[in-house]
Each structure stands twice: as structure tokens, then as C-alpha cells.
């Protein structure tokens, strides 16, 4: 795994799915999509803080405003990329239920990428229910943007 490429992909895909959410008509019901985006982006911050040994947000399904989503969308990528030099470091942490675990930074980053893809797929399905066409967020599409 190339952690930098995978994190850049994750950011690219999150940005595309956020734009699709932002382009929905204001009259359309978007709360479930916003909730999934808030969870996806907050989970990234939770893991960054766990890795850095800092207090993490306690709410993993927060109700965030669009402005707060934008802030996390902009703040998270450099924080995640800054963890790459420590990819082999083993991190002890507690999950949201207070259970203790230990994983490498690299495995945690891979978890975040997979976690993000899972929730982007849910968001894509919800976008379809509004009549919108969700953006392509598959890894291969990201790779094609690098080729051009």
C-alpha cells in the first residue's frame, strides 16, 4: 500500500461526494447524507487524535453544520498525511466503548480509507433517491485523474 496515494484518493473521493451533496436542491431532504458525512469526517479526526495521544471527539455520529463539514474536509487531509512517517508505529488506544486495542498507524490509515468508501457508497445510494447522479469515486477513476 502506498499510504500517501491512498490518502490522496480518500480526500479526492470525499471532496467529490461532498460536492454532490452540496449541489442538491436546498428543498431536498439531506439530513441523512449530512449525518453520514459528519460521521465519516469525524471518525478521521478521532483516529488522528488517538494516534497523536490527544483527546478525541466523544461523539462519533455528531450533527454538524455544512460549515463544520467543510472545516473537517479541509483540515483532515494534511493531518492524515502527517501521520505517514509514523506508519510503522504501534498505537495503543481505546475505542468508543472504552475497550483497549493496539494497531499500527498504517493499519489504522487503511481502516479509515475502507471506512470512508463504505460510507461514500451509502451516500451515493441516498443521492440516487434524490434523483441526483452520484460522482464516480472508485479508486481507478482517481488513478485516471493522475494520468491526465
Other C-beta atoms closer than 10 Å to the C-beta of 103 total: 18
For residue range 72-96, what is the model confidence (pLDDT) as tens digits? 999 999 999 999 999 999 999 998 8
| Burial of residue 112 (number of CB atoms within 10 Å: 0-12, 13-18, 19+) | buried
CATH of the domain at 67: 1.20.120.450
Per the structure, the complete domain to which residue 130 belongs is given by 3-147
Other C-beta atoms closer than 10 Å to the C-beta of 93 total: 17
Predicted TM-score (pTM) of the model is 0.93
Nearest CA-CA partner of 34 in 62, 59, 76? 62
Q: Please give the pLDDT value at position 27.
A: 77
Strand, coil or helix: 95: coil
Percentage of the chain exceeding pLDDT 70: 99
Average pLDDT, integer, range 41-55: 96
Q: How many domains does the chain divide into?
A: 1
Amino acid at each position: 500500500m502506498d499510504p500517501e496515494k491512498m490518502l490522496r484518493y480518500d480526500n479526492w473521493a470525499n471532496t467529490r461526494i461532498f460536492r454532490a451533496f452540496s449541489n442538491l436542491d436546498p428543498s431536498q431532504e439531506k439530513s441523512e447524507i449530512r449525518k453520514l458525512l459528519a460521521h465519516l469526517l469525524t471518525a478521521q479526526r478521532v483516529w488522528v487524535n488517538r494516534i497523536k495521544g490527544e483527546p478525541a471527539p466523544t461523539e462519533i455520529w455528531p450533527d454538524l453544520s455544512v460549515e463544520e463539514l467543510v472545516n473537517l474536509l479541509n483540515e483532515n487531509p494534511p493531518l492524515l498525511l502527517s501521520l505517514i512517517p509514523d506508519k510503522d508505529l504501534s498505537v495503543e488506544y481505546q475505542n468508543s466503548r472504552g475497550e483497549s486495542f493496539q494497531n499500527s498507524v498504517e493499519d489504522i490509515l487503511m481502516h479509515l480509507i475502507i471506512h470512508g468508501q463504505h460510507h461514500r457508497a451509502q451516500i451515493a445510494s441516498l443521492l440516487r433517491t434524490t434523483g441526483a447522479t452520484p460522482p464516480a469515486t472508485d479508486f481507478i477513476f482517481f488513478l485516471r485523474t493522475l494520468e491526465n
